[in-house]
Amino acid sequence: MSLELAMPQTGQLPQVKGPELNDRDFLNEILTHEKYLSSGYNTGLLEMQNPKLHETVQSILSNTHNTQYQIFNEMFQKGWYKMKVADQQEIQQAKTQFTNYQTQFPTFH
């Protein structure tokens, strides 16, 4: 049986949605944009050689992560973002999967 973790919805959304954007739509768009920005900054950061520029972009990436978390938390508190609750077996499978990925990479000494 699959469980979801979510707060009760605040009742601020219409039952039948029309073409207009509501608060949930706006926050969802901003959250998606922040995730996109994080991905781009992260890729750039990994390929950046200039130490000062690296430091600046790393700070921007950190701010982007913080903004993303605030938006996510706002949506979660309003009941607009649901997550599946993982049982112990699923957690162990994910841990094993990612641990196995690590063994595929070369080690540098």
Q: What pLDDT is recorded for position 11?
A: 61
- The domain limits of the chain are 23-102
**66: Cβ contacts below 8 Å, ≥ 6 apart:** none
Task: Give dist(CA 61, CA 79) in Å, integer.
Answer: 27
Evaluate whether 37 touches 43 at the Cβ level (below 8 Å). no
* pTM of the predicted model as reported, rounded to 2 decimal places: 0.67
For residues 22 and 73, the answer to whether their CB atoms sit within 8 Å is: no
What is the pLDDT confidence band of residue 14, given thresholds at 50, 70 and 90?
low
- The H or E element containing residue 82 is none
Whole-number Cα distances in Å, 22 to 15, 19, 28: 12, 9, 10
Q: What is the pLDDT of residues 43-75, one digit of tens each?
A: 999 999 999 999 999 999 999 999 999 999 999
* Helix (H) or strand (E) run with residue 23 in it: helix 23-46
In the block, which residue shows the tokens 């990994």?
Answer: 46
State the Cα–Cα distance between residues 37 and 93, nearest whole angstrom: 30
pLDDT band at 35 (very low <50, low <70, confident <90, very high): very high
